[in-house]
Amino acid sequence: MSYEHVDRRILGAVSFRDATTDLRIRRPLKVEAAAGVQLVRNRSGLYVIYAAPGFDAYVHTLSEQPVEPDPRAIKVETVTFELKVFDPRKEFLPRRSTFRLPLNSAAARPNQGQWLFDPVEVKLFPAPTARVVPGWAIIRATVREDGKRDRLPWALITVRRDGKPEALATGLADHRGEAFVAVPGIPVTSADEGKGAVTTSEIPVSLEVVFDTSLRKVRDPEDLVASPRAPNDFVPDPAILETGKLPQFRSSKKADTLASGREYRMELTVNLS
């Protein structure tokens, strides 16, 4: 019997999480990364970054233990790599995401940079076919251009309790402009903050929509069949949409009320002029 001893360093890991529940998605997903980037799924559902262009010497050199660098001098997040993720069961929408290497391995965990032993977290948004949990408020929305019938694919929807900065839930429209947003945690009854009844089953919310105007609008979902490009080619990085700061972004806000266990069908519009 012969033994082979293999030592190597890893560059980090990516954790895909359910945007609604914040739980790690442990079943296999289809992950495509930039050329030369190798990701291997482990038993915990993490996608470990085994290799990336420019890091061969770092990964395979273990003859001597490296000296811990000065946290003030370490260079972190110097190279950006993109990945795409798809759900074979289509319960989550596809998305793009980026991560930066090298991650910071300093034991002191300085305030700058992503720590090597914290997985890079990527949220996946539920598709319209996602399963529903009793007690969630469910929003099924069609996102359109204001005053027109054109649909706006891959628009980001954020639900906030009226007057509160924290997001209750986020969702993403698919390539047809159809969105599914699940809002968990709404109490069955709560104190009415207005002048009405003492208790209420509904809470006031604002629905904020952000659309990237560099993406192609959809006049009718059927025209995607004739498109020479696959719908997934248009998938943006929702993390960039969340910033809402790029010049090509347009946004809108709608006031509404939500209650636990109810389903809402609505149209959300964005003025693109």
- Amino acid identity, position 218: V
Predicted confidence at residue 71, as pLDDT, reads: 46
Model confidence at 70: pLDDT above 50: no
Predicted confidence at residue 101, as pLDDT, reads: 85
Is the omega angle on the peptide bond into residue 187 within 30 degrees of 0, that is, cis?
no
Contact 157, 170 (CB under 8 A): yes
pLDDT digits (tens, 9 = 90+) for 71-98: 444 444 478 899 999 999 999 999 999 9
Model confidence at 231: pLDDT above 60: no
Quote the DSSP letter at residue 58: H
Give the mean pLDDT of 155-159.
Answer: 96
Q: Report the percentage of the chain scoring pLDDT > 90.
A: 53
Model confidence at 226: pLDDT above 60: no
Give the mean pLDDT of 36-65.
Answer: 83
235 or 159, which is more confident: 159
pLDDT digits (tens, 9 = 90+) for 186-206: 887 655 555 555 456 899 999
Give the mean pLDDT of 118-130.
Answer: 93
107's CB contacts (< 8 A; 6+ apart) are 68
- Residue 9: pLDDT band (50, 70, 90) is confident
183 or 231, which is more confident: 183
Phi, psi of 68 (to 5 degrees): -60, 125
Predicted confidence at residue 56, as pLDDT, reads: 79
Q: Report the percentage of the chain scoring pLDDT > 70.
A: 78
Query: Using CA atoms, how far apart are residues 97 and 122, in angstroms rounded to an integer?
Result: 7
Q: What integer best gives the mean pLDDT of the chain?
A: 83
Give the mean pLDDT of 146-158.
Answer: 94
228 or 135, which is more confident: 135
Predicted confidence at residue 230, as pLDDT, reads: 46
Give the mean pLDDT of 19-27.
Answer: 95
Which two three-digit tokens encode residue 240?
Answer: 């960039």
Cβ contacts of 144-148, under 8 Å, gap ≥ 24: 144/177, 144/267, 144/268, 144/269, 144/270, 145/217, 145/269, 145/270, 145/271, 145/272, 146/252, 146/269, 146/270, 146/271, 146/272, 147/269, 147/271
Predicted confidence at residue 30, as pLDDT, reads: 95
Predicted confidence at residue 161, as pLDDT, reads: 92
Give the mean pLDDT of 21-43.
Answer: 93
- Amino acid identity, position 212: D
pLDDT digits (tens, 9 = 90+) for 161-180: 988 889 999 999 999 999 99
Predicted confidence at residue 76, as pLDDT, reads: 44
Give the mean pLDDT of 117-146.
Answer: 93
